Structure 1
Amino acid sequence: MKKLILSAAILLGGLSSQAATIEVTNTVAPLVKFQDEYKEVDAVPAAIKTALDNAYPGVKLEKAYVNDKKEYKIEIIVRETKSIVYTDAQGNILKK
């Protein structure tokens, strides 16, 4: 019986000596919407609509933005997937 109690005491003592306090710091980056100097517009040129229809069949235009260089940032939905496409005024898709 002594051996059983002694074994239990050693086992519990060994487990408690390995316990350590872990300090967890929670760093949260603030969410900032940055439009890259784009301003929202209500309508886009027909050339852009045609180019998007040809490139992405079944595309839905959600929002459109334009900058000073007449480059368009267009939020689209294709097959229930949201994406952002950059184009120029002639409908050429830009790589950004």
Structure 2
Amino acid sequence: MKKLMFASVLALGSLTAFAQQDAQSVQGEGTEVVATAQDNYSEIAVDEVPAAVADAVEKNYPTATIDKAYKNEENQYKLEVSLQDGTTGTLYADEQGNWLEQ
């Protein structure tokens, strides 16, 4: 009976350690993806967004408000916007106001 109990505890301990390892690797990957996406953009003031980009937001999303703006070295803009209904989102555009896929 002692051997059966010892084997059960050992098996349970092995499964617990395996589950923890998987959770850590998944968590690490998610953190890395977020950090990589943010590295290319630097925050700028909303009033520094070119008129063409602001006009594109106003034309395509008339109820949107630009909350934060970011710019990268290729003069591409990442815009965090919120709509009147409370939804939020992220838009990407070049300096001429053309939408980019991310």
User: What residue identity is the alignment partner of 1:40?
Assistant: E
Number of the residue aligned with 2:52 = 47
Shift of 1:47: 1.1
Residues in 1 aligned to 2:40 and 2:100: alpha-carbon distance in whole angstroms:
17
Note the aligned Cα RMSD (angstroms): 2.1
Residues 45-94 of structure 1: CA deviation (Å, up to 9, x unaligned)? 11111100111121011111111100001111122111111000111111
Structure 2 spans left out of the alignment, 5+ residues: 1-10
Question: Between Structure 1 and Structure 2, which shows a larger proportion of helix residues?
Answer: 2
SS at match of 2:58: helix
Question: Between Structure 1 and Structure 2, which shows a larger proportion of strand residues?
Answer: 1
Number of residues of Structure 1 aligned to a counterpart in Structure 2: 78
TM-score (norm 1): 0.68
1:74 to 72, 79, 83: 79
Structure 1 spans left out of the alignment, 5+ residues: 1-20
Identity of aligned residues (%): 33
TM-score (norm 2): 0.64
Q: Which protein is bigger by CA-based radius of gyration?
A: 1
